[in-house]
């Protein structure tokens, strides 16, 4: 590249940091102001501009624009201010960005594969000239707790892949966000004159399945060694898609497996902090979508690894959907629901009617849970009377309101601490500031998938794993627990500080890659060689010298 084309390539652009010789060699003289800056000086200027933005959505737009102009500077700035900026690039602000995506759209990034152009799918992916290590794909139907956002869902793959690089060190030039545009049932989007997606009700059924099959076939042909992450698909589609394709290519669903791993790791840290064992916990899950069942399934697998029988582990779970407790007295349970359904025989001494729908309050009063997790997407789903009831039966209740964005949280940390007299151990899905209660500061861990999926990507790419197994997520959860500050100080946050997330990701990646080798999913190496490969895979935002080729 030469001249303005080089400046306009976000992966190659250095802006004012091009050296004098580079400006001569690449035809940049006069196209840039004369002073040559360092990357750190650029980062300081960019931070000053960031701070001038008045709202979070303006800050999000600024960072996305910087990413489209100079990716090295974008990631340098993000690493310099990760705790402040990660919530802007991803949750919770990315939710508002998805809702406003058509109005804040600036520059193409990634690939849109629309249903009317399905016959051109091979050509769409062939239009890419880059090699790709990681793809994040969504169909935009279930964005966070906001529902169907159609083409606006593209904000999620873009944000997720930014975290693959920021947290896991995956080279930004090796990532690809994809939006499968199958229409939308969001009437607000369809009525919006600025909506940039396909203006049609959402395609479902046989046509949907055929489209997904065609997409996977095309990806396998074009990128046979890629890691494909499914993101924010409707619950009715996410589980079947994962089961259908998990043995065909290297793939996982972050809403099911990533959420499960980070929640399991955080619960393990909380249990250790209070001096208990996971096998002794009674777990209530409010929300029976893909995230809720994924979390419970991972916790159950962890209990089995610790020596419980299938029956013993299953008795530890109380999962509620819109019809109340899921137990084997209910008809029409799916295979997944049956695997975690509570036995009616265990409910005979409950002081409520157990022949029909069993409500949330009845479950908490009778099961006396030690762990309560919310994955509902509904604000206020943890009412005061139920939290107080739980706190009567356990000294240090573990309570995780995980729904995001912040507007959808089941209860705020301040409310939970008030209702439990400051005794609860809390993790949330969205970031919350520390809470002061009775003269004590409580750090609130954000149970964010960013602790898991970038590390998974790093371990998978460095080891060359060909598939992603549930066991790889299980060891990722355990490795995350091992880095919990609460293990040394029970009053500390359950999860490491974001400033340490690259070190945490490396630790998890080693565990994941080692497990992949143990299962025969990756080439066996010595531990030293494996760690060397992981370190060589990690990309850091620095400018490389440029020289002209003859």
CA 148 to chain centre: 18
pLDDT of residue 130: 81
pLDDT the model gives residue 79? 97
CA dist 502 and 266 (Å) reads: 18
Radius of gyration of the chain (CA): 24
Phi-psi region of 12 (alpha: psi -120 to 50; beta: other; left: phi over 0): alpha
Instruction: Yes or no: say if 188 and 104 are a contact pair by the CB < 8 Å rule.
Output: no
Give the separation between CA 452 and CA 463, rounded to whole angstroms: 16
Chain centroid, CA 518 distance in Å: 26
Tokens representing 269 are 């840290």
The catalytic residue positions are 90, 160
For residue 159, what is the enclosing H or E element? helix 155-168
Query: Is 389 annotated as a binding-site member?
Result: no
Residue 208 has a pLDDT of: 98
Backbone φ and ψ for 209, nearest 5 degrees, come out as -60, -40
> How far is residue 395's CA from residue 388's CA, in Å, rounded to a whole number?
12
| pLDDT at site 126 | 87
Query: Regarding beta strands 227-230 and 134-138, do their DSSP bridges make them parallel or antiparallel, or are they unpaired?
Result: parallel
Asked if residue 346 belongs to a known ligand binding site, the reply is: no
Domains, the chain:
38-248 (3.40.50.10380), 257-450 (3.40.50.720)
pLDDT at 550: 67
**Confidence (pLDDT) at 469:** 96
Placement of tokens 């060190």 in the chain: 169
Whether the CB-CB separation of 242 and 253 falls below 8 Å is answered with yes
Q: What are the 10-residue block averages of pLDDT along the chain, 550 residues in total?
A: 94 97 96 97 98 98 98 98 95 94 95 96 87 97 92 98 98 97 98 98 98 97 96 93 97 95 97 94 94 93 93 96 94 88 94 93 97 95 98 97 90 97 94 92 92 98 97 96 91 92 98 98 98 98 89
Which pLDDT belongs to residue 490? 75
Between CA 397 and CA 416 the distance in angstroms is 10
Identify the three-state secondary structure at position 285: strand
Q: Could you tell me how far CA 491 lies from the centroid of its own chain?
A: 26
223-to-81, 169, 181, 211, 217 alpha-carbon distances in Å: 34, 20, 20, 18, 10
Is 366 annotated as a binding-site member? Answer: no
CA dist 34 and 224 (Å) reads 45
Structure tokens at 406: 């912040």
232 labelled binding-site residue = yes
471 is in an annotated binding site: no
231 is in an annotated binding site: yes
In angstroms, the CA 130 to CA 171 distance is 12
């Amino acid at each position: 590249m030469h001249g303005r084309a080089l400046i306009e390539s976000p992966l190659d652009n250095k802006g004012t940091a091009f050296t004098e010789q580079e400006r001569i060699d690449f035809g940049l003289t006069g196209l840039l102001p004369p002073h040559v800056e360092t990357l750190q000086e650029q980062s300081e200027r960019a931070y000053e501009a960031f701070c001038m933005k008045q709202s979070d959505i303006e800050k999000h737009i600024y960072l996305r624009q910087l990413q489209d102009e100079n990716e090295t500077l974008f990631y340098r700035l993000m690493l310099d201010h990760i705790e402040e900026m990660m919530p802007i690039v991803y949750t919770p602000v990315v939710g508002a960005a998805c809702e406003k995506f058509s109005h804040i759209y600036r520059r193409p990034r990634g690939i849109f594969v629309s249903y009317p152009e399905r016959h051109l799918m091979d050509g769409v992916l062939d239009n890419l000239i880059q090699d790709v290590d990681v793809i994040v794909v969504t169909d935009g139907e279930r964005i966070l707790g906001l529902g169907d956002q159609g083409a606006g869902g593209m904000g999620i793959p873009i944000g997720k892949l930014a975290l693959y690089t920021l947290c896991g060190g995956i080279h930004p030039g090796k990532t690809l966000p994809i939006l499968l545009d199958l229409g939308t049932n969001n009437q607000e989007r369809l009525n919006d004159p600025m909506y940039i997606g396909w203006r049609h009700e959402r395609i479902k059924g046989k046509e949907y399945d055929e489209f997904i099959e065609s997409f996977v076939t095309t990806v396998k042909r074009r990128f046979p060694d890629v890691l494909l992450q499914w993101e924010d698909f409707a619950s009715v589609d996410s589980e079947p898609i994962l089961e259908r394709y998990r043995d065909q290519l290297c793939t996982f669903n972050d809403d099911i497996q990533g959420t499960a791993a980070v929640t399991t790791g955080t619960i393990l840290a909380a249990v250790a902090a209070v001096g208990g064992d996971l096998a002794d916990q009674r777990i209530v899950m409010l929300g029976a979508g893909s995230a809720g069942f994924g979390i419970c399934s991972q916790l159950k697998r962890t209990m089995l690894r610790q020596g419980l029988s299938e029956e013993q582990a299953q008795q530890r779970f109380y999962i509620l959907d819109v019809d109340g407790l899921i137990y084997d007295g209910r008809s029409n349970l799916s295979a997944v629901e049956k695997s975690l359904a509570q036995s009616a025989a265990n409910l005979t001494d409950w002081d409520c009617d157990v022949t029909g729908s069993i409500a949330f309050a009845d479950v908490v009063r009778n099961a006396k849970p030690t762990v309560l997790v919310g994955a509902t997407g509904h604000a206020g789903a943890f009412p005061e009377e139920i939290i107080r009831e739980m706190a009567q039966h356990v000294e240090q209740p573990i309570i995780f309101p995980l729904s995001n964005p912040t507007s959808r949280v089941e209860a705020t940390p301040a409310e939970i601490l008030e209702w439990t007299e400051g005794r609860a151990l809390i993790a949330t899905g969205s970031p919350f500031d520390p809470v002061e209660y009775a003269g004590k500061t409580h750090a609130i861990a954000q149970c964010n998938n960013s602790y898991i999926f970038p590390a998974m990507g790093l371990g998978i790419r460095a080891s060359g794993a060909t598939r992603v197994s549930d066991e790889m997520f299980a060891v990722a959860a355990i490795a995350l627990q091992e880095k919990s500050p609460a293990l040394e100080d029970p009053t500390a946050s359950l999860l490491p500080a974001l400033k340490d997330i690259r070190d945490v990701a490396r630790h998890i990646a080693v565990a994941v890659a080692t497990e992949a080798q143990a299962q025969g999913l990756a080439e066996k190496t010595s531990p030293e060689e494996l760690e060397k490969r992981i370190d060589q895979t990690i990309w850091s935002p620095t400018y490389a010298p440029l020289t002209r080729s003859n």
